[in-house]
Amino acid sequence: MSDTKLHTLQPLPLWQNFMRLNAVPRPSKKEAEVTRFMVDFGKGLGLETSVDAVGNVLIRKPATPGCEHAPVVVLQSHLDMVHQKNSRTDFDFLSEGIRMRVDGDWVRAEGTTLGADNGIGVAAIMAILEGHAPRHPPLEALFTIDEETGMTGAKALTGDWLAGRILLNLDTEDDTELTIGCAGGLDVTGQLAVALEPLPSGYTTYELAISGLTGGHSGMDIHLGRGNSNKLLARCLGTVAAEVPLRLVELTGGSLRNAIPREAQAMFAVPSDTAAKVDQIVANLTAIIRHEYAVTDPDLSIKCRLAPAASQVLSERDQQKTLLAIDAFPNGIFRMSPSVPGLVQTSNNLAKVTIKDGTAEWACLARSSVDSERQELGRVIRQILEGIGACVEFANDYPGWQPNPESKIVALMRRIYREGYDTEPHVAACHAGLECGIIGAHYPAMEMISFGPNIRGAHSPDERVQVSSVQKFWQYLLKTLDALTKTERTS
């Protein structure tokens, strides 16, 4: 059950819709239920509502009387959310609604992601469709599916569905920023069949577990240097293997490509007479790693404990190859932008590693605002994996969004921000993936901008959204829609 304080938050229509939305399971690639919810919402308001072949929803709302001359504006957010939870949290994302609570000026969830990314944007649009904007131009509310794991909803759009030529994307996470460009992405997956053999006698089996890492968004947080559980686990195993004969049983780490992995576990076996040495190696290395990550990951935990005896282990050759690949994988920043100070241009997130039941698999998300550089990073990763005999697959390649700082919507929203808050907004590109680049490919003449409230810890169970910032975001959105009613539609 969610905190009753939520029912008192302002703006009330937005928060009420956020609570309604968060009661509906909506994982990426399983949006059928939330699509039905949104269709029922639009039709229940008596608004023209349609669904395309993949489940994107479009709801049209006529202009406020007297504003019919204004340009058609597209309000856009995505319906799906990242599903992450702490290992000790008992929660089923496919059947339960998000359990939320108010924590001072923030709203967060109980041990899971909150869904503010992009549920706050969806809820704001719903409130406007209900009639809570005093003045607005003709509106097309576009709710896309599967933004978080491939942007297949945006990719499936057709070039004749939308009439609007101005798009307000409500999917960024800092209320001082206007985003006018973003990185593209590429999913890379490698798979290798590994040989198993009986564990020799005289060995003791251990479980090594890494947890408590901060994690976060693999685009927006990649520059913060937070620990990657897969890389740290491989480091620990490699350090032990350098001192004693280690045989790997299995390894699992991470879950989603767009989340920096926070947890990883491995089972391994060593000669029983080396057990005391293994304990000391792990204790020493734990102290070193905790010191290295004291600022970024203060709750980092590395535990090594006895495990039930294993019967099979990887062959020594395949063990060496699989762990070498994890070590060699590029992770984090690949290149900073030479033209935009402080902007990550290209990065990679080694998101998931599984070595189990005779198969090894690596999954990562490469990002770049430069398409050629993203392809080059993909080539580097392919060489590493093919070098150990793995099969490699590229998927969900999507383009970046090239900034247009001179567009009219940027100028308009800068002026509104300056007049409302007596300071300049930060107009910039971001390293996250937004759907604007893909939508722009379908509608090349469309002017686009992205903005939103303060959301922290996205793609992790620490996700939270700031109440006062949501209020600011809401008023800014209403002022923008009002200003757009004072412009004339062009052909």
pLDDT digits (tens, 9 = 90+) for 253-304: 998 898 999 999 999 999 999 989 999 999 999 999 999 999 999 999 999 9
68 and 138 share a domain? Answer: yes
344 and 408 share a domain? Answer: no
Is 419 domain-assigned?
A: yes
Lowest mean pLDDT among 79-88, 186-195, 316-325, 470-479: 79-88
140 and 244 share a domain? Answer: no
Say which DSSP state 89 is in. Answer: -
Residues paired with 196 in a beta bridge: 314
The per-residue pLDDT of the chain, averaged, comes to 95
Is 441 domain-assigned?
A: yes
For the stretch 375-427, pLDDT in tens is: 999 999 999 999 999 999 999 898 889 888 899 999 999 999 999 999 999 99
142 and 31 share a domain? Answer: yes
Residue tagged active-site, from 31, 80, 173, 435: 80
Question: Helix, strand, or coil here: 247?
Answer: strand
Strands 73-78 and 166-169: what pairing?
A: parallel
337 and 209 share a domain? Answer: yes
193 and 173 share a domain? Answer: no
pLDDT of residue 15: 98
CATH number at residue 97: 3.40.630.10
Measure the CA–CA gap between 32 and 25, rounded to whole angstroms. 9
For the stretch 178-207, pLDDT in tens is: 999 999 999 999 999 999 999 999 999 999
pLDDT at 1 over 60: no
274 and 348 share a domain? Answer: yes
For a pLDDT cut of 90, what percent of the chain falls above it? 90
Domain closes at, from 367, 398, 429: 398
196 and 340 share a domain? Answer: yes
- The more confident residue out of 88 and 316 is 316
Q: Is 80 one of the catalytic residues?
A: yes
38 and 167 share a domain? Answer: yes
pLDDT at 2 over 80: no
Measure the CA–CA gap between 328 and 435, rounded to whole angstroms. 31
Q: Which spans in 8-163 are helix H?
A: 12-22, 32-44, 116-129, 152-155
Q: Is 279 one of the catalytic residues?
A: no
pLDDT of residue 433: 85
| Residue 279 belongs to domain spanning | 186-398
What band does 432 get if pLDDT is binned at 50, 70 and 90? Answer: confident
Host H or E run for residue 270 = strand 264-271
213 and 301 share a domain? Answer: yes
- The mean per-residue pLDDT over the stretch 207-220 comes to 95
Residue tagged active-site, from 140, 147, 171, 373: 147
345 and 198 share a domain? Answer: yes
pLDDT of residue 149: 87
Is 491 domain-assigned?
A: no
Domain closes at, from 383, 398, 413: 398
Measure the CA–CA gap between 134 and 124, rounded to whole angstroms. 14
Burial class, 15, CB count within 10 angstroms (exposed 0-12 / middle 13-18 / buried 19+)? buried
Is 192 domain-assigned?
A: yes
Which pair of tokens denotes residue 228?
């990657």
For the stretch 14-42, pLDDT in tens is: 999 999 999 999 999 999 999 999 999 99
For the stretch 460-480, pLDDT in tens is: 899 999 999 999 999 999 999
Q: For the chain, what is the domain count? A: 2
- The mean per-residue pLDDT over the stretch 310-328 comes to 96
CA distances from 247 to 241, 268, 320, 378 (A): 8, 5, 10, 31
